[in-house]
Amino acid sequence: MQLLSPFLVYFLVALPAAAAGGSNGNNASVFEVLPQYGLPSGLLPDAVASYSLDAEGRFVVELDRSSCYVQFGSYLVYYARRITGTLKVGSIRDLEGIQVQRLFLWFGVDEIKVDLPPSDYIYFEVGWITKRLPIDDFRNVHSCQDRTTYGARVQRLFPEPVYEIEELITGDVHVTLQK
């Protein structure tokens, strides 16, 4: 039996690991990098296809789908295909690509932060509003759901006729009650 060349072994083992891990220099997955900054790994969904992180903490996360919805307690969170921000110890700033829904309205999340030393809470800043949530909701990585899963939920909650409106921020279709 012929032995595999070291060159071939590299491409069979290292290349797939690098593609899944990202390009931050040490091939750690994004779910391993977040805890290094004091943040829970469940901030991002399981649909991460790739990410990059530069020396200043600027990052880009690419999902393997056009949109992703995850339920955290009573909050529905939307993840765009591309998520960007600046990763610092205890926070993600200048965040783009994550939104939270409250009462049929979608709000962009500007910053996510935790207490240092760690506490039982994580904080989401949306404009001038800061919402404190249990950090345990974000310890595990969650799976993406598609828009139709939550559209069916809305129709069960509000059986009255609804019409669709185009939500300008995400480009997704959302519903509102008829007058």
- In a domain, residue 169? The reply is no
Beta bridge partners of 52: 60
- In a domain, residue 176? The reply is no
Question: pLDDT digit string (tens) for 58-110?
Answer: 999 999 999 899 999 889 999 999 999 999 999 999 999 999 998 889 999 99
- In a domain, residue 174? The reply is no
CATH number at 46 reads 2.30.240
Whether the pLDDT of residue 170 is over 80: the answer is no
Whether the pLDDT of residue 56 is over 90: the answer is yes
CA dist., res. 81 & res. 68, Å (int) = 8
User: Is the distance from CB of 57 to CB of 86 less than 8 angstroms?
Assistant: yes
Between 165 and 133, residue with greater pLDDT: 133
- In a domain, residue 27? The reply is yes
User: Is the distance from CB of 160 to CB of 179 less than 8 angstroms?
Assistant: no
Q: What 3-state class would DSSP assign to 116?
A: coil
CA dist., res. 82 & res. 66, Å (int) = 9
User: Is the distance from CB of 70 to CB of 79 less than 8 angstroms?
Assistant: yes
- In a domain, residue 26? The reply is yes
- In a domain, residue 178? The reply is no
Domains identified in the chain, total number: 1
pTM above 0.85, yes or no: no
Domain that holds residue 90: 6-145
- In a domain, residue 17? The reply is yes
Question: pLDDT digit string (tens) for 7-49?
Answer: 333 333 333 333 344 445 557 899 999 999 999 999 999 999 9
Token pair 């799976």 is found at 143
- In a domain, residue 65? The reply is yes
